[in-house]
Chain A
Amino acid sequence: EAGVTQSPTHLIKTRGQQATLRCSPISGHTSVYWYQQALGLGLQFLLWYDEGEERNRGNFPPRFSGRQFPNYSSELNVNALELEDSALYLCASSWSLAGLYEQYFGPGTRLTVT
């Protein structure tokens, strides 16, 4: 069974630009989650999508947004990039009824903002 995949592996952007990160969940999983792992800040919950809808978002500004497509893959967009957005962005997926099931993580996208 293929795991969660993310692309690109690395992304280098300049401050003020926009970044788009992509995630494909495990086959059969309908929920997709995004987390930010920044140095010194640990793992922070960003967004949760299920069945194409945004179900919850963490304490991040609106320039962090995303969507989930009909095939359950997902995209995270970060607008007006700031230096502190540099981090590893992890996508995870699970069966629906999110609380009952573990989340399976992808390898991450390393975003560097210069």
Chain B
Amino acid sequence: AQSVAQPEDQVNVAEGNPLTVKCTYSVSGNPYLFWYVQYPNRGLQFLLKYITGDNLVKGSYGFEAEFNKSQTSFHLKKPSALVSDSALYFCAVRGSGNTGKLIFGQGTTLQVKP
């Protein structure tokens, strides 16, 4: 069965410091991986995706993610955190076959303190 795990419920970082939000996945076949961010009382905003190619993917708002096939991980990173980055982050993987389904992790709350 395909699944996504975000091992940390919450990540706390100081503004200006680098941040990492962790994600591991389990899929059959090639993984199609996504990161989304959700602000309070809002829908999800797409940040970036990995389909194929370079293992380092750059996305919106200065975020990037590193795909590691051997560790089945897709960690989200940013070199310098902003207070406005504080939100709920979701990692997702496309379901096997062309099902249209995204399988989401449980989400990680990022708290950036001034």
Contacts and interface: CB of A to CB of B under 8 A. Distances in A.
Asked if A and B are interacting partners, one says yes
Interface of A: 4, 6, 31, 33, 35, 42-43, 45, 48, 50, 55-56, 58, 90, 92, 97-100, 102-108
B94 A107 contact: no
A103 B102 contact: yes
B45 interface: yes
A87 to B, nearest CB: 13
A4 B98 contact: no
Interface string B22-46: 0000000000101010000011111
Interface of B: 32, 34, 36, 42-46, 49, 51, 90, 94-95, 97-107
B104 A43 contact: yes
Nearest to A44: B104
Contacts, number: 60
A55 B100 contact: yes
A40 to B, nearest CB: 10
Q: 3 shortest A-B CB distances, which residue pairs?
A: A48-B100, A105-B43, A98-B100
Contact of A45 (B49, B101, B106): B101
A35 B107 CA distance: 15
Q: Which of B43, B46, B51, B102 has the most CB of A within 10 A?
A: B43
B98 A97 contact: yes
29 contacts: A4-B43, A6-B43, A31-B100, A33-B101, A35-B102, A43-B104, A45-B100, A45-B101, A45-B102, A48-B99, A48-B100, A55-B99, A55-B100, A56-B99, A56-B101, A90-B43, A92-B44, A98-B98, A99-B97, A99-B99, A100-B32, A100-B51, A102-B46, A102-B49, A103-B102, A104-B46, A105-B44, A105-B45, A107-B43
